Structure 1
Amino acid sequence: MSAPPHKARPAGPGRVLPDTQQGMRRRNLSRVMHTVGAEGPLSRAAVASRIGLTRAAVSTLVDELIRSGLLEELGPERPGRVGRPGSALAVSGNGPAGIGAEVGVDHLAVCAVDLRGRVRARAVRHVPNRDRSPEPVLGELTELIHRVVAEAEHEGLWPAGLAVAVPGLVARDARTVVRAPNLGWQDTDLGDLLPARFPLTVANEANFGALAELWLGEGTPRDFLHVSAEIGIGAAVVVDGRLLHGNRGFAGELGHVPVRPDGPACACGGRGCLEQYAGEEAVLRAAGLEPGEDRVGLLAGRAEQGDADVRRALHDAGTALGIALTGAVNLLDPEGVVLGGALSGLAPWLLPSLRSELARRTAGPACPVSVSALGPEGPLLGAAHSVVRGVLDDPAAVAERV
């Protein structure tokens, strides 16, 4: 799946650069990269006009970025403009790439995204990872990473970093999976088990899904609650264009909000959690179906055929989602809720009861609920694009490595 080019949105949390001449230079390099990435191709004069610097200052910055392989000149601008045409600038189609990876309960995936937001290489392996120890799982993931990196390098790209999406709680060191109940992992330092040649970031899959929605979604608000629903259910809160991490970085565990306190036991140790009513496996159980490789496809196909048991299970799952979301909506007052992940493919049967329950229980006006166009691709794309955004946020740091 190819992603659209970057839109003009503020970057996520990045490096805080000192207020010195060197810090100003680094910030201005970033401003040039973000402007060309969002609106390019642009001439030097157009960039200078947009960021409020002199043309001479912008030319110096542009020359540095071209030498570093982060920008490229495409030739004269289109004819018809007054005066001598300038050379059009674009972010490089070669050079740095973001490597994104995802560890799912039943799959592994890796992709490479260039600075223009295009997916240039991709590998997926369907494999049951539940209750497997981290070493063999991450060994297989490393094989996929090497395969994707080799394909990307063949096309003239080089890895600027690796970001890994996992279905669990990640410590603030952005390396350690504190707890992933659906994998059976605890206190696992992925930095010890993944290739050391890449700068590494590990984050919860719902957080990367929300960032993908923020950066790539059409019409996504700056304040929203993103729900990533598969076997497990996670959520991410975006406030003013930034992720809300919480004190320990664990914000967003919507799947373990109790819907019915006396309900069935959950892998987290609680009872009656949302995952027990709205996760993929829970819906299959309620519909009387056996889990298969394409669980969502099975449910959607049966629902389209009018299977009463499947439709009832999806209606009940939507109701449970609405109950769990009510507390978050009442507490946070987001502009909207975005349903992503694999269950977004079941939206036609989930949304009616979800919206009805949310509207009935919300104190204020009904909160809009939309469906992510990225679907299950969100976490993987968000991981890869987070590396790309890091390049745009501080291109000088990348240039120093070239």
Structure 2
Amino acid sequence: MPNTQQAMRRRNLSLVLHAVAAHGPLSRASVAARVGLTRAAVSTLVDELIRDGLLVELGPSRPGTVGRPGSALQLNERGPAGIGAEIGVDHLAVCAVDLGGRVRARTEVASANRDRTVGPALARLAELVRQVAAEAVREGLRPAGLAVAVPGLVARDSSLVVRAPNLGWEGVDVGPALRAALPGLPLTVDNEANLGALAELWRGGHDPAPRDFVHVSAEIGIGAAVVLDGRLLRGTHGFAGELGHVPVRPEGPACACGGRGCLEQYAGEEAVLRASGLSPEQAAAQHPGPGGRIALLAERAADGDRRVRRALDGAGEALGIALAGAVNLLDPRTVVLGGALTPLAPWLLPALERELALRVADPARSGQGAVTVSRLGSDGPLLGAAHSVVQAVLDDPAGLREAAAVTGSGA
């Protein structure tokens, strides 16, 4: 019975915190009405969340509420912070977000991580993590954990990068180097497409938020993630969503995965550059910095460069072929085009939607309007990483206090 009561209390703390996060500022009475608990029970839970620094009480609640006005509750802007990090092929990035989802600190640096020795890359990222965490502390926040997005396969519930072909990494455990940056705090590592999809679910700005979608994104490779009924589909080993290695033309060129004619060979960044008559090195020199090659393609397409537009049309066609299979198999509400693909959406979408219209079994689900373009763009994986830490706090606020007790950091 005590364990059952404790589990119920944990769940109720989360219900109250989620209610304020979604609808605040709210009075205690309004919270009680939303979560279906008595006012007395909610008041006790609220007091606990205030003591733990998760909620703050403002002045009287908004006018128009029923009964005597009470103090309004909102998330503490000087409470826990989620630290998110991203390892890209050409950059490293770190940010801190507060409980309300606002980015409070951020840094990004160009970094040629492809085939780079792992140790220096992780050491540099750890340095950036410490820098952003220190900035968050100066803002009055306290880091609650670190989540890291990587462009590769990550073993489920671990920090082991099984294979990241576009980095040249295989069997790399990023945990030891990065745990040292924020000792004692939880660390999670996940595929960048998964975290981009979660960012779309939590912070995509859709009304209502989609709960069933395929999220496809790209850097040098193509990644995808599937969200069904508001939950990320991970697969048995955590490798679900490898859309980039779906063959779209089986007789096509060899791929690093060992297959032939994979989507990545037609819609990946380097494939599009080659089809546009540009080498990756030329493109980087013409438009340096993170995301520069994609920016160059977008600029040339906007200027009417026919070769670039043909390359993007071919990439959109290949995307449509691969995504049609995913749509027929999973029946999602929509496909979300995210990550580095978003600046190229105007030139990818016509062919992509044309292929969906030809290939999707349900004609009402295909063609124009079948694909949504993410508002988060290339920030999706980084924001998804940071927000995953915040989401863990909202889902189990009691766990934050327990972790603080273990590390001796205080609530």
* TM-score interval, normalised by the smaller of the two chains: over 0.9
Q: In the alignment, is residue 335 of structure 1 matched against residue 333 of structure 2?
A: yes
Residues 71-104 of structure 1: per-residue CA shift (max 9 Å, x gap)? 0011212345554310000011012100000000
SS of the aligned residue for 1:194 comes to helix
Distance 2:145 2:331 in 1: 35
Q: Does 1:386 align with 2:388?
A: yes
The SS at the match of 2:178 is coil
Instruction: Tell me how far apart the structure 2 counterparts of residues 205 and 335 of structure 1 sit (CA, whole Å).
Output: 22
Between the two proteins, what is the percent identity of the paired residues? 72
1:31-50 map, 5 Å: 31-50=15-34
Gaps of 5+ in 1: 1-17
Q: Which residue of 1 aligns with 2:177?
A: 193
Supply the distance in 2 between the matched residues of 1:342 and 1:186 (Cα, whole angstroms).
24
Aligned to 2:283: 291
Match of 1:346 among 329, 344, 355: 344
Distance 2:34 2:327 in 1: 37
What SS is found at the alignment partner of 2:179? coil
Deviation at 1:291, TM superposition (A): 2.7
**Conserved? CA contact 1:229–1:344, under 8 Å:** no
CA distance in 2, matches of 1:229, 1:286: 17
Indicate if the aligned counterparts of 1:91 and 1:115 stay in contact, CA closer than 8 A: yes
The Cα shift of 1:269 comes to: 2.1
Separation (CA, whole Å) in 2 of partners of 1:149 and 1:311: 42
Corresponding residue to 1:268 among 222, 233, 257: 257
Q: Does 1:223 align with 2:212?
A: yes
Instruction: Tell me if the contact between 1:321 and 1:354 (Cα under 8 Å) persists in the aligned partners.
Output: yes
TM-score, normalised with respect to structure 2: 0.91
7, 13, 17: which one pairs with 1:29?
13
Q: 1:166, 1:340 → 2: CA distance?
A: 16
Is 1:117–2:101 an aligned residue pair? yes
| C-alpha separation in 2, matches of 1:68 and 1:377 | 30
Matched position secondary structure for 1:193: helix
What is aligned with 1:4?
none
Structure 1 residues 43 and 127 mapped into 2: Cα distance closer, same or farther (>3 Å)? same
Deviation, 1:134, is: 1.6
Match of 1:280 among 266, 269, 286: 269
Q: Distance in 2 between matches of 1:174 and 1:59?
A: 38
**2:197 corresponding residue in structure 1:** 210
Give 2:47's aligned residue: 63
1:97 and 2:87 equivalent?
no
Letter paired with 2:392? G
**Superimposed CA distance per residue, residues 243-294 of structure 1 (whole angstroms, 9 cap, x where no aligned partner):** 1111111000001111112222222222211111101111111000233131
2:35 to 33, 43, 51: 51
Equivalent residue, structure 1, for 2:308: 310
Alignment-mate amino acid for residue 379 of structure 2? E
Residue 190 of structure 1: CA displacement?
A: 1.2
* One-letter code aligned to 1:167: P
Please tell me whether the aligned partners of residues 229 and 339 of structure 1 are also in contact (alpha carbons under 8 angstroms): no
- Structure 1 residue runs of 4 or more that deviate by more than 6 Å after TM superposition: none
| Bigger shift: residues 189-198 or 104-113 | 189-198
Aligned residues: 385
Q: 1:377 aligned to 2:379?
A: yes
CA distance in structure 2 between the aligned counterparts of 1:380 and 1:82, rounded to whole angstroms:
41
Given the superposition, is the C-alpha separation of residues 70 and 188 from structure 1 closer, same or farther in structure 2, using an over 3 Å criterion? Answer: same
In 2, Cα distance between equivalents of 1:248 and 1:84: 54
SS at match of 1:90: strand
Alignment partner, residue 10 of structure 1 = none
- The separation in 1 between residues aligned to 2:66 and 2:337, in whole angstroms, is 48
Whether 1:72 and 2:74 are equivalent positions in the alignment is no
The AA in structure 2 aligned to 1:215 is W
C-alpha RMSD of matched pairs (Å)? 1.3
